C-alpha cells in the first residue's frame, strides 16, 4: 500500500515539476480572460476534457511564443491572436512535440486580397488566405473576416485558418502536394492518392458536397477536406467514411461522435 502511495506521489510531483518547468520556458502565458475567449469562441476547445483543455492552452502558448501575429490596416486583438493560434493547434493537436518550423509571421488583412497582396482594390480580391513562397517564405496572410467567419457558429464546413495551417503541415516534408508523408504510413500513400482522385472526379461530376475548390489540385483537396473534417466531423464521417478514416489516421484524431 505504502509503495503505491509513494508511486502516486512521485507521479504527481513529476507532472507538476514538468508543468512548472515548461511554464518558465514559454513567455506567453494565457490569462483567465483569454481562456474565457477560447471557451466562448473556439468550439473545438470547449468540446475538450479539462486535461486536454490545459494541453491545448500549452500549445497555444508555445505557438504564440514562436510566431508573430501582425495586423496590416487593422489592430490585432487578443481574440484574433487566439483564433490564429487555434487554427494552428487544431490540426496538430495530437502530434507529439510538433512545432511549425515553416512560419514566423502571420499577417492579418481586414478582408480578402488579390494576387499582389492588395486588399483595397474593388475587384479581383478573391483570396482569403495564403502561405508565402519565395521572398514571402515563412509568412502567412489571412483575411481577418474569413478567420472570424471560420470560428462562427454558422461557418458550415469551412475554416480558412485551419485550411492554411494544413498547407503548412503538408509542406513540412518539403512538398505541398496533398501527401503529408510524415503523418501517413507509406502503405497508405497510394490508396490516399487514389481516393483523392476519385473524389475529385465526383466533385467535378456534381456528385459530392465537398467545396469544388478542392479540385484545384491535391494540396487544395487535402486542405479543403481537412476543414470539413474538423468543422463537421459527424457529417463528414457519414458522407465520406473512407476519407474520414484516412484523415483520422493522418491527424491522429477521431472527432465524430458516431
Ligand atoms: Zn489553399
CA atoms within 13 A of residue 253's CA, in its CB half-sphere: 21
Residue 228 within a domain: yes
Residue 164 CA to ligand 1 center (angstroms) comes to 6
Q: What percent of the chain shows pLDDT beyond 70? A: 88
For residues 130 and 118, give the distance between their C-alpha atoms in angstroms, rounded to a whole number: 13
Residue 10 CA to ligand 1 center (angstroms) comes to 47
Which range, 34-38, 100-104, 113-117, 120-124, has the best average confidence (pLDDT)?
34-38
Residue 178 CA to ligand 1 center (angstroms) comes to 10
139 in helix, strand or coil? strand
pLDDT reading at 204 higher than 90: yes
Q: Give the gyration radius of the chain's Cα atoms.
A: 19
Q: Could you tell me the three cell numbers for 202? A: 465526383
pLDDT of the residue at 230: 98
For residues 146 and 188, give the distance between their C-alpha atoms in angstroms, rounded to a whole number: 33
pLDDT reading at 116 higher than 60: yes
The pTM score is 0.88
pLDDT of the residue at 69: 98
Residue 215 within a domain: yes
Residue 243 domain boundaries = 173-258
Residue 247 within a domain: yes
For residues 125 and 120, give the distance between their C-alpha atoms in angstroms, rounded to a whole number: 8
Residue 230 CA to ligand 1 center (angstroms) comes to 16
- State how beta strands 68-71 and 129-131 pair: unpaired
For residues 70 and 178, give the distance between their C-alpha atoms in angstroms, rounded to a whole number: 28
Residue 130 CA to ligand 1 center (angstroms) comes to 7
Q: Could you tell me the three cell numbers for 187? A: 502503405
pLDDT reading at 24 higher than 80: no
Residue 110 CA to ligand 1 center (angstroms) comes to 18
The mean-pLDDT minimum among 129-138, 164-173, 205-214 falls in 129-138
Residue 165 CA to ligand 1 center (angstroms) comes to 9
Residue 6 CA to ligand 1 center (angstroms) comes to 52
Q: Looking at residue 75, what DSSP letter applies?
A: P
Residue 162 CA to ligand 1 center (angstroms) comes to 10
Q: Which distant-in-sequence residues (6+ apart) come within 8 Å of 214 by Cβ?
A: 199, 200, 203, 220, 221, 224, 225
Residue 189 CA to ligand 1 center (angstroms) comes to 20
Greater confidence, 119 or 171?
171
**Average pLDDT rounded to a whole number, residues 104-112:** 94
Residue 37 CA to ligand 1 center (angstroms) comes to 27
pLDDT of the residue at 119: 78
pLDDT tens, residue by residue, 175-195: 999 999 999 999 999 999 999
Residue 201 within a domain: yes
For residues 185 and 249, give the distance between their C-alpha atoms in angstroms, rounded to a whole number: 9
pLDDT of the residue at 2: 65
Cell numbers 483575411 correspond to what residue? 143
**Average pLDDT rounded to a whole number, residues 59-79:** 96
For residues 126 and 114, give the distance between their C-alpha atoms in angstroms, rounded to a whole number: 6
**Average pLDDT rounded to a whole number, residues 195-215:** 97
Cell numbers 480580391 correspond to what residue? 125
pLDDT of the residue at 122: 66
pLDDT reading at 23 higher than 80: no
Residue 180 within a domain: yes
Residue 63 CA to ligand 1 center (angstroms) comes to 21
Query: Domain holding 207: CATH number?
Result: 3.40.390.10
227 in helix, strand or coil? helix
Instruction: Name the domain count of the chain.
Output: 1
Residue 222 CA to ligand 1 center (angstroms) comes to 9
Residue 49 within a domain: no
pLDDT of the residue at 17: 55
Residue 89 within a domain: no
Residue 132 within a domain: no
pLDDT of the residue at 257: 85
pLDDT of the residue at 26: 81
Residue 91 CA to ligand 1 center (angstroms) comes to 15
pLDDT of the residue at 6: 67
pLDDT of the residue at 178: 98
Q: Could you tell me the three cell numbers for 7? A: 508511486
Residue 223 CA to ligand 1 center (angstroms) comes to 6
Amino acid at each position: 500500500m505504502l509503495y503505491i502511495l509513494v508511486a502516486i506521489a512521485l507521479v504527481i510531483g513529476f507532472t507538476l515539476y514538468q508543468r512548472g518547468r515548461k511554464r518558465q520556458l514559454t513567455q506567453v502565458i494565457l490569462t483567465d480572460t483569454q481562456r474565457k475567449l477560447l471557451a466562448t469562441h473556439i468550439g473545438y476547445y470547449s468540446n475538450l476534457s479539462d486535461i486536454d483543455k490545459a494541453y491545448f492552452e500549452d500549445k497555444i502558448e508555445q505557438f504564440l511564443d514562436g510566431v508573430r501575429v501582425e495586423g496590416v490596416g487593422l489592430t490585432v486583438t487578443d481574440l484574433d491572436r487566439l483564433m490564429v493560434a487555434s487554427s494552428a493547434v487544431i490540426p496538430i493537436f495530437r502530434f507529439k512535440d510538433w512545432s511549425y518550423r515553416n512560419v514566423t509571421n502571420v499577417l492579418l488583412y481586414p478582408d480578402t486580397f488579390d494576387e499582389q497582396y492588395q486588399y483595397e482594390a474593388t475587384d479581383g480580391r478573391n483570396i482569403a488566405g495564403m502561405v508565402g513562397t519565395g521572398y514571402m517564405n515563412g509568412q502567412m496572410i489571412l483575411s481577418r473576416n474569413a478567420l472570424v467567419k471560420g470560428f462562427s457558429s454558422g461557418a458550415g464546413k469551412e475554416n480558412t485558418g485551419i485550411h492554411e495551417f494544413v498547407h503548412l503541415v503538408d509542406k513540412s516534408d518539403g512538398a505541398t502536394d496533398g501527401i503529408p508523408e510524415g503523418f501517413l504510413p507509406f502503405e497508405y500513400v497510394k490508396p490516399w492518392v487514389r481516393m483523392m482522385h476519385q473524389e475529385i472526379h465526383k466533385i467535378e461530376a456534381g456528385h459530392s458536397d465537398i467545396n469544388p475548390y478542392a479540385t484545384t489540385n491535391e494540396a487544395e483537396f487535402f486542405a479543403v477536406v481537412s476543414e470539413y473534417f474538423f468543422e463537421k466531423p459527424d457529417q463528414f464521417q457519414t458522407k465520406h467514411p473512407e476519407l474520414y478514416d484516412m484523415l483520422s489516421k493522418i491527424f491522429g484524431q477521431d472527432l465524430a461522435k458516431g
